[in-house]
Amino acid sequence: MKKLSVLVLLLLCSFSIFGQINPEDSTVQAIAYWDKGDTYNYKVINKSTQLKNGEIVSSDSVVYNVELSVLDSTANSYTMQWLYKNNANKGLKVIYKTSELGEFEEVLNWAEIRDFVNNAANSILQDFKKGEINDESLNKQENEITSTFSTKEAIESVGVNEIIQYHMFHGITYKPGDYMEGEIEVPNVLGSKPFMANTYFGLEEIVSDEEYLLKSVQSIDKEQLTVATLEYLKKLSESAGKSFDMEAVRNMQFENETTTYSALHDSGWIIYSIMQKVVTNGDITIINECSIEME
């Protein structure tokens, strides 16, 4: 059961002309001013750390490179390409659309991404079949993985997190000290119903005439998160052919908070972005961090 709890914690850790910075009233507009053919390279670092009672139990990181290009530009939208240059996703292209302001709208080649994930999952699970896990259990787990990426909506919710992070601040005008607060729906990697999350975001600092720093903090409703997590743990146990003792986990309380800092150039290109997601359950804490840095 402890291994399943850690697994779920890891899964949970599952928006021409410049001049956007106005020095007269200290406002900034996170708007894209891009041209067809523009291309920038980024280094992405995904780091995961597990702690128990504040002590590090494990830590690992993955570093890879991506190329971000503007394939097309119209008065109403941009068509973008996010190309994985190395790592397990080498060669995979994510073609997506944003608004004219740079706000993420939709993935265009979602079927291609679905097929890529399905093939990768099948290859990995084939290796497990050489071990002690029976075929029926593996087939159930394969169905769980492939169903997560089976639709356009699912891929946009959990399959392109770095792209969502890149565009999350676009399309809004910010003023220093004027943080916007509210309750929003966020994707639920454990089920179909979205989570409700309290969020606030705003302008942290105007670094220079061409660069500014934005910040966002998002906390998922604890009760809703805990109920969904326990139901998912039960589902995982049953798919593995094991019984699930609800009484043993009834007192579990899960928390999930995400903090993001993004530095933008006044053309709308990200200079760097750091997103840290902290998920806790009692004395166990999982910290997932994704950094995107222009090369």
Give residue-wise pLDDT tens across range 249-276.
666 778 889 999 999 999 999 999 999 9
Higher pLDDT, 140 or 264: 264
Q: Which of the two residues, 88 and 80, has the higher pLDDT score?
A: 80
Domains belonging to the chain, first-starting first, are 2-294 (2.30.230)
Which among 1-10, 137-146, 218-227 has the top mean pLDDT? 218-227
Quote the pLDDT of residue 131.
55
SS3 assignment for the chain: CHHHHHHHHHHHCCCCCCCCCECCCCEEECCCCCCCCCEEEEEEEEEEEEEECCEEEEEEEEEEEEEEEEEEECCCEEEEEEEECCCCCCCCEEEEEEECCCCEEEECCHHHHHHHHHHHHHHHHHHHCCCCCCHHHHHHHHHHHHHHCCCHHHHHHHHCHHHHHHHCCCCCEECECCCEEEEEEECCCCCCCCEEEEEEEEEEEECCCCEEEEEEEEEECHHHHHHHHHHHHHHHHHHCCCCCCHHHHCCCCEEEEEEEEEEEECCCCEEEEEEEEEEEECCEEEEEEEEEEEC
